[in-house]
Amino acid sequence: MRTIDIPLGDRSYPVRIGEGLLADPAAWAPHVGQAPILIVTNETVAPLYLPAVLGALKGHDVDTFTMADGEAEKNWDNWRALIGRLADRHAPRDTTLVALGGGVVGDLCGFAAATWMRGIRFIQAPTTLLAQVDASVGGKTAINIPQGKNLVGAFHQPAAVIADTATLRTLPPREYRAGLAEVLKYGAICDAGFIDWIEANIDALRAMEPDALAEIVERSVRYKAEVVGADEREQGVRAILNFGHTFGHALETHTGYQRYLHGEAVAIGMVVAATLSESRGLLAPGLARRLADIQSALGLPVTVPADIDAPDLLQHMKLDKKNLAGRRRLVLLSAPGKAIVDEDSADADILAALNACRAEDPAA
Ligand SMILES: NC(=O)c1ccc[n+]([C@@H]2O[C@H](COP(=O)([O-])OP(=O)(O)OC[C@H]3O[C@@H](n4cnc5c(N)ncnc54)[C@H](O)[C@@H]3O)[C@@H](O)[C@H]2O)c1
């Protein structure tokens, strides 16, 4: 078992990473006392992993709340139902919630933990790659409302993260690949050496070799811990985690969240952001091509599709909630492994970068 500490003063917590941790009582024991536990999961993950967790927590007072699957479930109704369950059971303040599932379960469970009695303990047990390398660490919790995604939420750090890398093997392959985009993002913004490592281990990553999985989760969590440790509430440097996301969100919004998984849109967005960094003269030429080659080898998309117009994407970017005081903020690169926040890219620069990243093959 690998352990990484997230250094946030009295809100610090460990992230435990390894194969088979969900079924291991020793992985849970330091984080659960004798108080009641409520496991929050969904109907896809429950049959796969709930029995193992219940086995590891044998002897504890455990209840389960199972949601339907899907991003649309990260909503008021499920938050209300979960809070209702806590209220009906007179759940005491020392109750521990456990989020067993991907980022959707983690965000909703975390938000319920943040809001019940002004905040109770919760443990993240992420079962997707995206949740293990990103969503479970950092304390952002949220639900979606009809007006937009993640508009209602709170910062609330978990008491521990238990990331069982064996769970990644049952993921739909597309979900796994989408998570790899976020992994590569850490290389692009934090550590050029990690880009080299990913490039050298593409076959191991495609084969989901246990050591390769543990390595990418550990390194990604370390990078995220560094950034979050320096800026817990996203007042500054934490913004660099949005590399590729402004373009990615524009693609997701434009296609009604139907065509791309988040990580796939981010993958395209990273190539566009690196291309813009190069054309603005901020970054030496070559990295955009290299990121695109790595992503292609990992089975991720890399081009802006021929049927989407660049001005439409630009329009979506103007509404991005990360813009401040009307200024458009983009995360660009000044070197491999080094991100900068930019407010000076003109519309024409952005349009040119989007068009430079068009699929050469119109069918792509
Ligand atoms: N809080 C944060 O910092 C943060 C960061 C990034 C993303 N997010 C949020 O995370 C969500 C996306 O998370 P996600 O990509 O994990 O999606 P998800 O939670 O929808 O999971 C993807 C799919 O995989 C299934 N699944 C989960 N684990 C599985 C397993 N081991 N085997 C088989 N199937 C499994 C799920 O049921 C779902 O169908 C979004 O709502 C996003 O806003 C939050």
Residue type, 88: D
Taking Cα atoms as reference points, which of 191, 95, 173 lies closest to residue 128? 173
Active-site residue flag, 90: no
| Average pLDDT of the residues in 151-179 | 97
**Ligand 1, closest atom to CA 179?**
15
Cβ of residue 157 lying under 6 Å from some atom of ligand 1? no
Residue 29: band (very low, low, confident or very high) from pLDDT cuts 50, 70, 90 = very high
| Average pLDDT of the residues in 53-79 | 97
Domain assignments of the chain as residue spans, ordered by start: 2-170, 177-356
Q: 244-288: per-residue pLDDT in tens?
A: 999 999 999 999 999 999 999 999 999 999 999 999 999 999 999
362, pLDDT greater than 60: no
Best residue among 44, 137, 227 to mutate for probing ligand 1's pocket (most ligand atoms within 8 Å of CB) is: 44
Residue 325: band (very low, low, confident or very high) from pLDDT cuts 50, 70, 90 = low
Q: Can you give the pLDDT at residue 129?
A: 98
Q: 284-299: per-residue pLDDT in tens?
A: 999 999 999 999 999 9
Tell me which of 129-138, 197-206, 313-322 is least confident: 313-322
DSSP letter assigned to residue 145: E
User: What is the token pair recorded at 135?
Assistant: 């969503």
Domain 2-170 CATH class label = alpha beta
343 phi and psi angles, rounded to 5 deg: -125, 10
Cβ of residue 56 lying under 6 Å from some atom of ligand 1? no
CATH code of the domain made up of 177-356: 1.20.1090.10
Is 140 labeled as ligand-binding?
yes
208, pLDDT greater than 70: yes
Q: Can you give the pLDDT at residue 364?
A: 47
17's enclosing H/E stretch is strand 13-18
Is 262 labeled as ligand-binding?
yes
Residue 361: band (very low, low, confident or very high) from pLDDT cuts 50, 70, 90 = low
Q: Tell me if 2-170 shares its fold with 177-356.
A: no
Share of the chain above pLDDT 70, in %: 97
**Ligand 1, closest atom to CA 74?**
41
Say how far apart CA 341 and CA 324 lie, in whole Å.
Answer: 12
